[in-house]
Amino acid sequence: MEIINMKDLKVIILAGGKGTRLWPLSRANYPKQFVKLFNGHTLFQKTLLRALQITSSNNISIVTSKPYEDLIKRDLQNIAPELVHNTIYEPIGKNTLPAVLLGCYKLTNENVILVMPSDHYIELDDKFRENVSEGYHEAAKGNFVIFGIKPTKPETGYGYIKVKNKTNPCHVVDFIEKPDYERAKRYIKDDSFFWNSGIFMFKVGSFIEAVKKYEKDIYREYKKGLNGFLNNFTGIKSQSIDYGIMERLEKKHVRMIKASFIWSDLGSFESLYELLHGKTEENVCVGKGFFFHQDSSDNLIINDEKLIVAIGIKDMVIVETDDALLLMKRNKGQILKDVVSKLNEIGRREINFNKQGFRPWGSYTVLLEGDRYKIKKITVNPNSSLSLQMHHHRSEHWIVIKGTAKVTLNDEVFHVHENESIYIPKSTKHRLENPGKVPLEIIEVQNGEYLEEDDIIRFADNYNRK
């Protein structure tokens, strides 16, 4: 099919999801769409690059959760920083239907929108553009379009789509919820069944009318305008596009585009292994760490720093991070979610938080901590600054290892250069700034009776934080 002009296509990228199936890589504060897995790129960045392949940045909107604001800004910085102004923050996650409604306020009823999750892997090539072009043609007629993936195994973690015809556009017969293993085995033998990718296209007006018809309570809140919708967001029903709209539509208005592009939802370490491994029995290694093995094959090793040595192991997942180590048989991924839930119940901090923190001014990594001390490496972006602040329970010692720091202590200002240091006493107003053109890196040594992030009083802040 000829690729049609899609210069007016609108794209909504959904980036507020979180999950536990890739723990300890992903955490509640650092979900998988922001983990750098592919040559330094995150899944969110790869989704953004796909969107920019088919439309311009002014046609792209991002919907995410407020806790991920700094991660969004980090990932946009070198690709499309202007999209900071096209990002909408949900007060709380309410699934895909309310999230897409948030992205519709600035659009017209005639606009065709492509809705993409940001935590899926899709190969960046012309096949994706061709399939989107086919979907655009159908959505412009007023149809609802979903992209289907030809099953390669009896997967029980996906929803399925049953279609009549085998060529695009396919007419949808039914949506099937996640099946048991025996049903999934039957589906992969029947070429009328496809995996539901969670990627949609439709006209804004058609979508709004469907919400009005099938989800009256959500529509009532949507009609109050963007501010009213956000103010009442906590009380809105959590609902997906699949359940709320697609499965309830008259099937004559629903089309499926059979995807010819490479796709994975990366919902498990097994799916990551399948995506990255070749035809041999070699191990798949991700990260900067060193992996040495003997008589070991078909393993997935994710390691950023340490030397990992494997002898006589097969079909394993080994994931090493700063604060956790996962050892798991590759086929036990379904159990990981339950294990993480149990660890969360007993209060293990590693389930939700990692050693890194991202802020509007840069980032920090906790290097070492113990009773009454914590050591961090802090990176401040050029021409950025921390808030003017004070701590009641800790003192700080800053050692500059790269760049020049501008430090305010009460009413005095100091410039601290590489291999120089400065001491910040308790209950002292202070501020750290990077006036230079290269990132500022310092080592911070905290000492005191309480060292958590909430021991902070802000007097002034460039980012309007409280």
Q: Is residue 126 helix, strand or coil?
A: helix
Structure tokens at 109: 């009823």
pLDDT at 111: 95
pLDDT at 4: 55
Q: What CATH number labels 9-264? A: 3.90.550.10
| Under 8 Å between Cβ of 65 and 49 | no
Task: List strand residue ranges (DSSP E) for 138-189, in order.
Answer: 144-149, 160-163, 170-176
For residue 151, whether the previous peptide bond is cis, meaning omega lies within 30 degrees of 0, is: no
Q: Pick the closest to residue 290 from 278, 304, 300, 279 (CA basis).
A: 304
pLDDT at 282: 85
pLDDT at 279: 56
- For residue range 396-439, what is the model confidence (pLDDT) as tens digits? 999 999 999 999 999 999 999 999 999 999 999 999 999 999 99
**Whole-number Cα distances in Å, 6 to 74, 135, 137, 140:** 28, 11, 10, 11
Residue 136 backbone phi and psi in degrees, to 5: -60, -40
Quote the pTM value. 0.90
Q: 406 in the Ramachandran plot: left (φ > 0), alpha (ψ -120 to 50) or beta? A: beta
pLDDT at 5: 61
Rounded Cα–Cα distance for residues 321 and 264 (Å): 24
Q: Where are the domains of the chain?
A: 9-264, 280-351, 356-460
Q: Pick the closest to residue 254 from 334, 153, 141 (CA basis).
A: 141
pLDDT at 276: 87
pLDDT at 281: 67
Q: Pick the closest to residue 103 from 121, 120, 91, 115 (CA basis).
A: 115
Q: What's the one-letter identity of residue 67? A: P
Q: Is residue 36 helix, strand or coil?
A: strand
SS (H, E, C) 366-378: EEEEECCEEEEEE
CB environment 330-365: b (16+ within 10 A), e (fewer): beebeebeeebeebbeeeeebbbebbebbbbbbbbe
- For residue range 338-367, what is the model confidence (pLDDT) as tens digits? 999 999 999 999 999 889 889 999 999 999
Fold of 356-460: Jelly Rolls (2.60.120)
**Whole-number Cα distances in Å, 79 to 61, 128, 455:** 14, 20, 35
Per DSSP, the residues of 351-402 read GT--SEEEETTEEEEEEEEETTEEEEEEEE-TTEEPPEEE-SSEEEEEEEEE
Rounded Cα–Cα distance for residues 83 and 67 (Å): 17
Task: Using 50 as the pLDDT threshold, list the residues of the chain that sit under it.
Answer: 1-2
- For residue range 365-398, what is the model confidence (pLDDT) as tens digits? 999 999 999 999 999 999 999 999 999 999 999 9
Q: Is residue 74 helix, strand or coil?
A: helix
Rounded Cα–Cα distance for residues 357 and 74 (Å): 12
Per DSSP, the residues of 320-351 read E-SS-EEEEEGGGHHHHHHHHHHHHHTT-GGG
438: how many CB neighbours lie within 10 A of its CB?
11
